[in-house]
Amino acid sequence: MVMKHVINILFSAACILILNSCSKSFLNEAPTAHLSTTTYYQTAADARAAMNAVYAAARPQNFFALYYKIVIGDIMSDDAAKGGGGASDVAEIQQLKLFVAKPDNSYVQNAWQYNFHGVYLANLVLSKISSINMDAAQKPEILAEARFFRAYYYLQLVELFGNVPLITKPLETGDFDQSQATPEAIWSQIETDVDSAAVYLPEQSELTSDEYGRATKGAAYALLMNAYMWEKKWKEAEQLGDQIIHSGQYHLADDYNKIWTTAGEFGPGSIFEISMADIPGKDVGSNVNLWEASRSSWGYGFVCPTQNLVDAFEKGDPRLSATVIYNNEKMPDGTVANTTPSPTGYYNMKYWLPTNEIPYNNGGSAADGPTNERVYRLAVIMLWDAEASVHNGDIAHATDLVNQVRARARESGGNTDRSVLPPYIVVTLDDVYQEERVGTALGDHLRFYNLVRTGRAAQILPGYKEGVNNYLPIPLREIQLSNGVLKQNPGY
């Protein structure tokens, strides 16, 4: 897609002109982070370049940048083992998996840093763009995109850490002593930002093909529904889910098994995706494909599906083949899978690449992986809607939604056995949880968060302590930089 090229080229320029400190802690921004901020924001082109830097900050340029989704959402759950070259290979991930990570864990630090970096960039746009003399319709849209992304980054921060500073303007150098807000205050800010953003964001149908990947009304409403699910605002969640479903902007893709292929990017059920640029040799894609590919081929072999996950799929469910690679399985490109290096005997299909798409075979590098990140999909919204509907006592509605998702799955992957995945007569909350697990496994990175959100983590995950492991520890470095203003989460 053209958008993959445009966003990343503009990001490179914006990063050079504005940021010059992309790897620094948000609470330790050097003066160069504000380079030219008094003179740079002058034109509409400056505004768009600055906004594209916000988009690019969400792009997982490498596995480490995305780990707060994959490591937390997948590996810390019962869906995946860490994999790689053994327990000592990136041991800090194994510490997280075993719930023994300490505040000096670099992955914990990076989760804080990457997300607050995104907040900082969004705040720069919101503080600087308002004064630019530019098109009266374009300016509100850019500001809306910035509010959407500030909400996006804060949603991840409150999921991960709970009590975090609420920053709504760019910090000056030395502003390290930012006190923490309550999760309730963060959720309230997320709602405010999304409500404000949705007014000016375009509908999905208004985008041209080279604009795919931009924030839309649907993306904003999906993010807001995500917040409602955490806040247990079941009535609001059901109403918003119905609004998204009946907006006419989305419908379920015909074949679930094609969603995570490159051909399935920006499909009819895609509400928001983070676009990966596939420009060989430019390092503007993702190396998640590399990290999750088999160690017997070109990859590092992380994120290995567990037997527990495999057993969770009903017999004949076509979604299993879209999620799990078996040993000696014949792959779509004709190669034969070797999963023997995996500690579980399985690898993740959703980041698998056919031979002709492996970056090394196209003059590219590890950072040129092409797989987009599917952030919000219609099927996930339908299942969240069903979950909220059960809580609201609207069982018939929940049953209909789950059966629609199952019917699509039944028709996927070339399946001809119409007896698989029979429709529910009356759906239960456990049925919804089951569909959420198998329908989102290792692609949407929701399992750990869903277990925590629904209060089931302590029952299912060995080593998890309710009231402690609901959140990561506040990074030690950030506490030190704040001179103790930041307080550690309980249990750490």
Instruction: Please state, in angstroms and rounded to a whole number, the distance separating the CA atoms of residues 214 and 25.
Output: 26
Instruction: Please state, in angstroms and rounded to a whole number, the distance separating the CA atoms of residues 134 and 139.
Output: 7
Q: What are phi and psi of 324, to 5 degrees?
A: -125, 135
Instruction: Please state, in angstroms and rounded to a whole number, the distance separating the CA atoms of residues 258 and 227.
Output: 28
Contacts within 8 Å (CB) and 24+ apart, 308-315: 308/78, 308/79, 309/78, 309/79, 309/80, 309/437, 309/441, 309/442, 310/346, 312/434, 312/437, 312/438, 312/441, 313/438, 314/420, 314/421, 314/438, 315/420
pLDDT given at position 34: 40
pLDDT given at position 59: 76
DSSP labels, 23-65: TS-GGG--GGGGTTTTTS--SHHHHHHHHHHHHHHHS-SSHHH
Instruction: Please state, in angstroms and rounded to a whole number, the distance separating the CA atoms of residues 42 and 131.
Output: 8
How many angstroms separate the most distant Cα atoms in the chain? 66
Instruction: Calculate the alpha carbon distances from 121 to 14, 118, 437 in Å.
Output: 11, 5, 34
Determine contact, residues 106/92, Cβ cutoff 8 Å.
yes
DSSP labels, 92-126: HHHHHHTT---TT-HHHHHHHHHHHHHHHHHHHHH
pTM confidence score: 0.92
Mind listing the pLDDT tens digit of every residue in the chain (492 residues)? 334 433 332 333 334 333 333 322 323 333 223 445 556 688 888 889 899 999 988 875 544 556 668 999 999 999 999 999 999 999 999 999 999 999 999 999 999 999 999 999 999 999 998 888 888 888 999 999 999 999 999 999 999 999 999 999 998 777 778 999 999 999 999 999 999 999 999 999 999 999 999 999 999 999 999 999 999 999 999 999 999 999 999 999 999 999 999 999 999 999 999 988 767 766 678 889 999 999 999 999 999 999 999 999 999 999 999 999 999 999 999 999 999 999 999 999 999 999 999 998 988 888 788 999 999 999 999 999 999 999 999 999 999 999 999 999 999 999 999 999 999 999 999 999 999 999 999 999 999 999 999 999 999 999 999 999 999 999 999 999 999 999 999 999
Tokens for 357, please give them: 């798409």
pLDDT given at position 368: 86
Determine contact, residues 312/434, Cβ cutoff 8 Å.
yes
- Amino acid identity, residue 174? G
Instruction: Calculate the alpha carbon distances from 158 to 101, 187, 188 in Å.
Output: 18, 8, 11
Q: Indicate the SS3 state at residue 68.
A: helix
- Amino acid identity, residue 161? F
pLDDT given at position 60: 59
pLDDT given at position 212: 94
pLDDT given at position 176: 73
- Amino acid identity, residue 343? P
Q: Indicate the SS3 state at residue 274.
A: strand
Instruction: Please state, in angstroms and rounded to a whole number, the distance separating the CA atoms of residues 181 and 366.
Output: 39
Q: How far is CA 295 from the centre of its chain?
A: 25
Q: Indicate the SS3 state at residue 173.
A: coil
Whose tokens are 């529904």? That residue is 225
Q: Each residue of 282-326: pLDDT tens digit?
A: 667 888 999 999 999 999 999 999 999 999 999 999 999 999 999
Instruction: Please state, in angstroms and rounded to a whole number, the distance separating the CA atoms of residues 441 and 434.
Output: 11
Query: How many C-beta atoms lie closer than 10 Å to residue 337's C-beta?
Result: 19
pLDDT given at position 362: 85
User: Nearest CA to 433 among 418, 420, 419, 446?
Assistant: 446
Tokens for 195, please give them: 């409500």
